[in-house]
Structure 1
Amino acid sequence: MNKVSVIIAAYNVEEYIDDCIKSILMQSYKDIEIIIIDDCSTDTTKEKLSKYTSEKIKIIFSDENSGPGGARNKGLDDATGDYIFFIDSDDILHPDAIRDMLQVSLKSKCDIFAASYFKFSSILNVGFSHKINFSDISKIDKIDFILKRGFAPWGMLIKSNILHGVRFPVHMVGEDVVFTPLLLDRANSMLYSAEKIVGYRFLRSGSVSEGVTKHNKSMLDALNILRSYRNISKEYLAFISFYIFRHIYSSSIKYHDFELLNNKNSEINNKYINLNLNYRDKLSYKMKVEFFLIRKHLIYKNNIFLFLYSLFYKFITILRRNG
């Protein structure tokens, strides 16, 4: 059998960690090792983890806090599986997810097989009542992957041999913005299904929904790190740059925090003015409009384009709410 290493980075998740671990222990596929890294939690997460005695579980207690990236790196260094699966410590996994994803991965010999998720609130008692049906599997490239899933490293089955030399940056927010593009650049073949196999918990206390400027600056730091890798093509880096800028603009508007987008702020307006894109055919009409307005704002430093982007963002938001 092919062993799957499930890696869980945990920090101050005393309310949710049990749900996550139980969803992994209940997997129908049994050749699994569960590596949980406690990143110096200050609540009762450590005590909860210490109660687990299953031979499938290995718990690592970090000596110092290094963020989700550093914690996941420790898990990768200890993993012995043929495949790697990341899941966040407050999320849950369909009981047949690993079994069914592995079947597809082995049959297709793909390096990465990614699936989708649904959101649920902490106040709801949520489980999985449906059977997994991977009938919509499609081959994708790294641009398709980012367009469908962003930079999230969880919810995908990864061949461990393509992870050699690929690690998360430590002590930073948005560590997946560096890790995932580097990982995708290593993969020779990728598959995607819109089937929802992960329950993604939202609106919990402690999640990143404040400190928008700090978070967005971390994304710019991640972009700087990616720019230092010489083996990344200019076209790929240009697309990643656009995707990061798109997030910065939309989150700034959503949370009314325009510090980074201020015309006097050279950190964004001068450093990244040469934003090019050779993947326009893959973009939706909405994203093409976003690209046009963002690029114009960066080049001309005229807030009329920021105002137009804000109107467009609000218009799209209203359309989504109304179905």
Structure 2
Amino acid sequence: MLHRSVSSALAALPTRGEVIVVDDHSVTPAAEILVGFETDLAQGRLRIVLNHMGNGPAAARNHGVSEALGQVVLFLDDDDLMHPSYPGFVLEMQALGYAYGFAAIQRFQDGTQPVAQLASDVTEVPLADLSFKKQIGGLGCGFWVKRELFHSVGGINPLLRVNEDTDLSLRLLKSGARGVFSPKLAIYVRDHASPAAHLTNSTPAVLRAKYFKILLQEHSAWLITQREARQFLMRRYVKMLTKTLNLRELVRGLRWLEADFSLWTYGLANYLMYRIKGKDNFR
């Protein structure tokens, strides 16, 4: 999968661009997997670096950005594929004054070939014109950012097991930098057969609730002035608490939030729904 991902990135690479593969102490070293790219390595179009910032996706991405030479960095997971026109589009957005953004994705199943699509004629949308929910971009959704801005907001928090992309989006929004969403296809995202392949989906609800609480605490001063953002994060926190099927923890969380009547109703209604359905605490 890594071989195909790198091939797609190199095929889309703009002039003077580079593809950086971060080896996060893999069982099989990336250099052994990427046989056949010797010319790209010699020309500097491809670099393989060993992660020295601690294990995990966040640390690996931070290390990759620290190694980057260009002004803009664009993230690609090691089993996804890059749309050939997307990096060029990102550079166009940077030239228009945007500092970060993300775009549409298309999912495909393991063992299948994604259906090629041409970039559509739809135009970009400033994040400021979207609802808060749509201003939060996943790092696997063609997420790009100016390198200087990435460093200025502190990079990706390696202490967050999940929600690290939400945390980064919050810090970018707080910075006042101009963000953009593109409805144009950016990334082909591989859908794995096993839900465990998706870290967020396989993380127990009690831990997901914990991380939403951390976000509410870390960004509390800013959220006071951002009603829509605060309401969204509070509801996500409460929903994760309901999925634990632990009524005591749910009530404790609602009291910590100083929740109003509507949020209490939302939480208790969801709790009853999951209790009736027998919802397990891993979703």
Following the alignment from structure 1 to structure 2, what is the Cα–Cα distance between the partners of residues 228 and 247? 19
Work out whether residues 70 and 171 of structure 1, in 8 Å CA contact, stay in contact via their aligned partners in 2: no
Q: Does 1:227 align with 2:217?
A: yes
Instruction: Give CA-to-partner distance per residue, 1:74-110, whole Å, 9 cap, x none.
Output: 112112211111111111111111112312331x211
Kindly report which structure 2 residues correspond to 1:145-224, keeping only aligned pairs within 5 A, or say none. 146-148=132-134, 150-154=136-140, 155-165=142-152, 166-170=154-158, 172-174=160-162, 175-205=164-194, 207-208=197-198, 211-213=202-204, 217-218=207-208, 220-221=210-211, 223-224=213-214
Shift of 1:152: 0.6
Match of 2:272 in 1: 307
Sort the Cα spacing of 1:35 and 1:226 in 2 relative to 1 into closer, same or farther, 3 A: farther
Work out whether residues 133 and 195 of structure 1, in 8 Å CA contact, stay in contact via their aligned partners in 2: yes
Following the alignment from structure 2 to structure 1, what is the Cα–Cα distance between the partners of residues 156 and 110? 28
| Partner SS state of residue 88, structure 1 | coil
Give the TM-score taking structure 2 as reference length: 0.78
Following the alignment from structure 2 to structure 1, what is the Cα–Cα distance between the partners of residues 68 and 108? 29
Deviation >4 Å, runs of 4+: 43-46, 308-311
Whichever residue aligns with residue 213 of structure 1, its letter is P
Work out whether residues 103 and 186 of structure 2, in 8 Å CA contact, stay in contact via their aligned partners in 1: yes
| Partner SS state of residue 197, structure 2 | coil
Structure 2 gap ranges (5+) = 277-283
Following the alignment from structure 2 to structure 1, what is the Cα–Cα distance between the partners of residues 209 and 175? 21
Structure 1 gap ranges (5+) = 1-15, 253-257, 277-290, 312-323
Work out whether residues 74 and 145 of structure 2, in 8 Å CA contact, stay in contact via their aligned partners in 1: yes
Following the alignment from structure 2 to structure 1, what is the Cα–Cα distance between the partners of residues 69 and 176? 20
Work out whether residues 238 and 275 of structure 1, in 8 Å CA contact, stay in contact via their aligned partners in 2: no
Work out whether residues 247 and 271 of structure 2, in 8 Å CA contact, stay in contact via their aligned partners in 1: no
Following the alignment from structure 2 to structure 1, what is the Cα–Cα distance between the partners of residues 216 and 129? 15
Give the number of the structure with larger relative contact order, counting CA–CA contacts within 8 Å between residues 6 or more apart. 2
Instruction: Give CA-to-partner distance per residue, 1:163-192, whole Å, 9 cap, x none.
Output: 123222225421223222212322432222
Whichever residue aligns with residue 118 of structure 1, its letter is Q
Instruction: Give CA-to-partner distance per residue, 1:248-277, whole Å, 9 cap, x none.
Output: 37xx7xxxxx32x4112269635643357x
Alignment partner for residue 32 of structure 1, among 2, 10, 17? 17
Shift of 1:198: 0.7
Match of 1:255 in 2: none
Shift of 1:114: 2.3
- CA RMSD between the two structures: 3.4
Whichever residue aligns with residue 109 of structure 1, its letter is G
Following the alignment from structure 1 to structure 2, what is the Cα–Cα distance between the partners of residues 268 and 40? 40
Q: Does 1:90 align with 2:79?
A: yes
Match of 2:63 in 1: 74
Shift of 1:33: 1.4
Percent of residue pairs bearing the same amino acid type: 16
Work out whether residues 254 and 264 of structure 2, in 8 Å CA contact, stay in contact via their aligned partners in 1: no
Aligned positions, number: 266
| Partner SS state of residue 192, structure 1 | strand
Work out whether residues 82 and 160 of structure 1, in 8 Å CA contact, stay in contact via their aligned partners in 2: yes
Kindly report which structure 2 residues correspond to 1:253-264, keeping only aligned pairs within 5 A, or say none. 258-259=243-244, 261-264=245-248
Sort the Cα spacing of 1:96 and 1:297 in 2 relative to 1 into closer, same or farther, 3 A: closer
Shift of 1:69: 0.5
Following the alignment from structure 1 to structure 2, what is the Cα–Cα distance between the partners of residues 219 and 77? 31
Whichever residue aligns with residue 132 of structure 1, its letter is A
Whichever residue aligns with residue 180 of structure 1, its letter is S
